Amino acid sequence: MKSLGSIRRDFAPWNDPNAKPYIQFDNVTKKFGDFTAVNNLSLTIFEREFFALLGASGCGKSTLLRMLAGFEEPTAGRILLDGQDLRGIPPYRRPVNMMFQSYALFPHMTVENNIAFGLKQEGMPKPDIEKRVAEMLKLVKLEQFAKRKPHQLSGGQRQRVALARSVAKRPKVLLLDEPLGALDKKLREETQFELMDLQQELGLTFVVVTHDQEEAMTMADRIAIMDKGEVMQVATPAEVYEAPASRFVAHFVGNVNMFEGKVAERSANTTRITGATGAQIVVDNAADTSKGADIVFAIRPEKIKVSSKKPADAVNALEGEVYDVAYLGDMTVYHIKLDDGQIVRASALNAARVTEDPLTWNDRAWVSFRPDAGVVLAR
């Protein structure tokens, strides 16, 4: 596959066969009574990685994090940190810290005392505490708020205090469970970038739990997509989006169109697929597709072009009718009902203010796409 790399150009230890994993989940199962929250899961995370656990509510992502922190023990399997089995090691003796949401700040304490709290408990000498707190305040850009109490701060500022408090002890690994959950969209996006900067500046390993795919895509080096206590795919955001391993992952992250059919013919480089109603498309060869096999071609909306006339040079062009148009400002989303009844979603960036070939409801339209614009998945 062509470069679907990490956002940090030179950081991809997972591709280096000699790189040693920092955190290892080794066939980990967690049961609560009869219920299996995490099912025989294996996963490796590297030092300095920003790793995201992404999944719907109840898929087991918090349970995984809590086992790493030491608040729960696995029912079976092992968790290793830097080669050491963590079983039996209490939370406070693990080089791991959990960042809780900002409402866990002490309301009666000033910002600086909130940040200093864990250091005092640890018995750090006073001058060292003062130095560390000053460093932390600078890091999260809250120097002028040191003497305020949490209720005198905005939501985003409180979040930064919570962050400063959790990194003050210099844990090697910081665990973040829905860290930006309490923030509104705009602030959330800003804070995502701040978190990424902070992680790089401190050289820490971050494991973040989120159910927000955009958040995971924005921040993480790699994402583990979870479902029902199992990992469905672990990959970079670009790989998860452009090369989803399964229909589940393709649907879970972003929008996707699925063309279902049987392999009609395979030539050197391409596979011809015939759909249920006889329409044919040509796609790049996928591994293991023999003639007659049931397959699905998954393609993202922005890879599909919509036009009023049949594009002369398109390998794949299917005709239909404009069913819906949604103008979103930066882009326009079309729903095209193909003549075989399938509805295709296509999105076009509104790069110019005025469109030359505007399409509207009930217009005849063509959708076209390249053979390499999507991925072939098993049905």
- The least CB distance from residue 79 to ligand ATP, in Å, is 15
Q: Could you tell me which residues come within 8 angstroms of residue 308 by beta carbon, excluding any fewer than 6 positions away?
A: 357, 359, 363, 364, 365, 366
290 makes contact with ligand ATP (CB under 6 A): no
- Residue 47 vs 227, nearer CB to ligand ATP: 227
- Residue 57 vs 290, nearer CB to ligand ATP: 57
Contact 336, 346 (CB under 8 A): yes
- Residue 72 vs 284, nearer CB to ligand ATP: 72
- Candidates 59, 173, 174, 306; binder of ligand ATP (CB under 6 A) is 59
β-pairing, 173-177 vs 96-99, is parallel
- The least CB distance from residue 65 to ligand ATP, in Å, is 8
- Residue 181 vs 254, nearer CB to ligand ATP: 181
Q: With CB under 6 A, what is the number of residues at the site for ligand ATP? A: 12
- Candidates 60, 70, 237, 244; binder of ligand ATP (CB under 6 A) is 60
- The least CB distance from residue 211 to ligand ATP, in Å, is 5
φ, ψ of residue 136 to 5 degrees: the values are -65, -40
119 makes contact with ligand ATP (CB under 6 A): no
Least Cα distance to 279 among 241, 228, 317 occurs for 317
- Candidates 57, 267, 290, 360; binder of ligand ATP (CB under 6 A) is 57
- The least CB distance from residue 119 to ligand ATP, in Å, is 29
- Residue 225 vs 283, nearer CB to ligand ATP: 225
- Binding characters for ligand ATP, 9-48, by CB under 6 A (x = yes): -----------------------x--x-x-----------
- Candidates 20, 27, 42, 58; binder of ligand ATP (CB under 6 A) is 58
Question: d(Cα 220, Cα 354) in Å, to the nearest integer?
Answer: 36
301 makes contact with ligand ATP (CB under 6 A): no
Question: d(Cα 48, Cα 205) in Å, to the nearest integer?
Answer: 4
213 makes contact with ligand ATP (CB under 6 A): no
Burial 88-97 (b: 16+ CB within 10 A, else e): ebeeeebebb
- Candidates 149, 172, 211, 305; binder of ligand ATP (CB under 6 A) is 211
Q: Which stretch binds ligand ATP (CB under 6 A): 9-17, 58-66, 310-318, 361-369?
A: 58-66
Query: What is the sign, positive or negative, of the torsion defined by CA atoms of 113, 115, 117, 120?
Result: negative
Question: d(Cα 20, Cα 205) in Å, to the nearest integer?
Answer: 14
Longest CA–CA span in the chain (Å) reads 77
Q: Which stretch binds ligand ATP (CB under 6 A): 54-62, 125-133, 245-253, 275-283?
A: 54-62
Contact 60, 38 (CB under 8 A): yes
Q: Could you tell me which residues come within 8 angstroms of residue 259 by beta carbon, excluding any fewer than 6 positions away?
A: 273, 275, 281, 296, 297, 299, 342
Long-range Cβ pairs for the range 209-213 (8 Å, 24+) = 209/52, 209/53, 209/61, 209/62, 209/64, 209/65, 209/175, 209/176, 209/177, 209/178, 210/52, 210/53, 210/54, 210/178, 211/54, 211/55, 211/56, 211/57, 211/61, 211/178, 213/54, 213/252, 213/253, 213/254
Report the DSSP beta bridge partners of residue 174: 97, 206
> For ligand ATP, which residue has the nearest CB?
62
- Candidates 6, 24, 63, 289; binder of ligand ATP (CB under 6 A) is 63
- Residue 38 vs 140, nearer CB to ligand ATP: 38
Q: Which stretch binds ligand ATP (CB under 6 A): 52-60, 245-253, 317-325, 339-347?
A: 52-60
62 makes contact with ligand ATP (CB under 6 A): yes
Provide the binding-site residues for ligand ATP, judged by CB under 6 A: 32, 35, 37, 55, 57-63, 211
